[in-house]
Amino acid sequence: MPAYDPQNPFAKILRGEFPCYKVYENEYVLAFLDIMPRSTGHTLVIPKAPARNILDISPDDYAHVARAAHKIAAAAMKAFQADGITVQQFNEPAGGQVVFHLHMHVMPRQDGVALLPPASRKEDVKVLEDNATKLIAALG
């Protein structure tokens, strides 16, 4: 497995080099909206620890990511009046991973509405701002 690359986009978000629509943060994780969402409110939860994926993260650091994804899922159900939640986590190219910093996708779902294809469109800034506000309020 290749080594962790500290120049990946999520590492740059953690360092403040790239912007994000932050919805939650603690000493272990950061959660922010996906700018190319597959559903309304699609959120990414990442560890602050440098980890390429599940294969090289410590169990304790992974547990922090899972706890945060659980918290985001509950808030997203409320914020977006979701009928369900899809949580996904991909590892290595053969497993579907595209950005090589561990991340969990938390996607609110509506009955009968399919997920958009991955990276199919960039969301409007105003929509992202509004969705972040809703999710932050639901986390409150």
pLDDT tens for residues 68-96?
999 999 999 999 999 999 999 999 999 99
Read off the pTM: 0.97
Give the per-residue pLDDT at 109.
98
Which CATH number is 128's domain given? 3.30.428.10
User: Is a pLDDT exceeding 90 seen at residue 115?
Assistant: yes
Q: Where are the alpha helices (DSSP H) in 27-112?
A: 59-79
**Maximum pairwise Cα distance, the chain:** 40
Q: What is the mean pLDDT of the chain?
A: 97
Domain of residue 108, residue span: 9-112+121-139
Give the per-residue pLDDT at 1.
84
Q: Structurally, how many domains does the chain consist of?
A: 1
Domain-located, residue 2: no
Domain-located, residue 96: yes
Domain-located, residue 42: yes
Give the per-residue pLDDT at 42.
98
Domain-located, residue 1: no
pLDDT in tens, 40-62: 999 999 999 999 999 999 999 99
68 secondary structure, DSSP code: H
Domain-located, residue 32: yes
Active site residues: 103
The H-or-E segment that residue 24 falls in is strand 22-25
User: Is a pLDDT exceeding 90 seen at residue 139?
Assistant: yes
Q: How far apart are CA 56 and CA 23, in angstroms?
A: 26
Give the per-residue pLDDT at 104.
98
